[in-house]
Structures are given as C-alpha cells and as structure tokens.
Amino acid sequence: MARYLSRHGGKSIAQAALISSIVPFMLKTDDNPNGTDQSVFDQMTAKMKEDRAKFFASFFKDFYGAGFISQPVSDELIEWSRSVAMQASLKATLECAKAFSSTDFRPDLAAFTVPTLIIHGTADKTVPIDAAGRAAAEGIAQAKLIEYDGAPHGLLASHKERLTADLLDFLRQK
C-alpha cells in the first residue's frame, strides 16, 4: 500500500488500511530507536537455516498469541500456517524476512493522502506496535489508529469479528 501510493500518487484510492503492518520501518537504527535490533533478525535467519520447520512451529505460536494461558486460535490453524510457510523455498523465506526487517517506508508516509485506518495489537511480538502502528499513525496525516489491547500480530484470525466490524465501519465513513 505504501509503495503503491508513493509510486502512483494514490490514483484510484479513496481509503487505506494497514493491519498489523510493518510500515514505516522495522529495523532499529540511530534515527529509528523504537525498531528491532538487527541481532533479532540475524537469529531468525540462523534458526530458519538450521531447522525451518521448528522455527515456524514456534513463530506461529507467537504470531497468533498462543501460550499456556491464552489460545486465541486453534492448534490446527497454527499447524496450517506452518505448513503453508514450509511450501516456500528457503531462499524465498530468507528474502522475505530480509525485506520485512529492512525496507524503510518512512519516505512513503507522505503519499498517504487519503483517510487511513491503522489497526495493530498491543501484544504483537512479530511487529511491535511502537515501531509500526503508532509510528505510522504519527507519520500519516489522516490516520486513525485503533489499538487492540492484548492482540497478537495474527489478529485477522484471533480478533476476526472485531476486525471485520472495524473495517466495515471505516469503509462506510467514505
């Protein structure tokens, strides 16, 4: 969405939504102190190279917020997600993680010239809310941020009814 708006001037776009998005920038740098340390991404890469199936089994539990006390999605959904991820090649998976961690969308924020809804979970371990949702809301002029208290990155599954309602409400505001 960020690159489309930036490259095409928002042509034919009336509204935008960012759901658990990596926008504006994930990597911790001197000018992005709320980002994630490079060492975290390096560890992810090493674990994927060592045993990708094991990495994804753990990753998707965090992605959906599954733990000892909370199980917002089924074990079957977690296993299905792992299975789908395993269908990608190792090279594609590593390149995706690299793009996820290092693509800087901050210059693209000015291109968001339409009402933009940002939805992000406060317990997102995959894309922390301070580096993404809150930062995007600060950098996008017409942004409305809705924080889902305690929600994980995969809130499209864990909070699907609320997400659907919030998106429909936003779309009706046009």
Per-residue model confidence as pLDDT tens digits over 158-172 = 999 999 999 999 999
3-state class (DSSP) for residue 18? strand
pLDDT above 90 as % of the chain: 95
CA dihedral angle for residue 65, residue 163, residue 121, residue 37, rounded to 10 degrees: 90
- Name the class of domain 1-25+105-174: alpha beta
Compute φ and ψ for 117, nearest 5 degrees. Answer: -95, 130
pLDDT of 174 strictly over 90: no
Any idea what the Cα angle at residue 19 is, between residues 14 and 25, rounded to 5°? 100
pTM value? 0.94
Per-residue model confidence as pLDDT tens digits over 14-54 = 999 999 999 999 999 999 999 999 999 999 999 999 999 99
Would you say how long the chain is, in residues? 174
pLDDT of 156 strictly over 80: yes
Q: Where are the domains of the chain?
A: 1-25+105-174, 33-102
Measured CA distances, 128 to 40, 55, 136, 153, 166 (Å):
13, 19, 12, 8, 21
pLDDT of 157 strictly over 90: yes
State residue 94's pLDDT score: 97
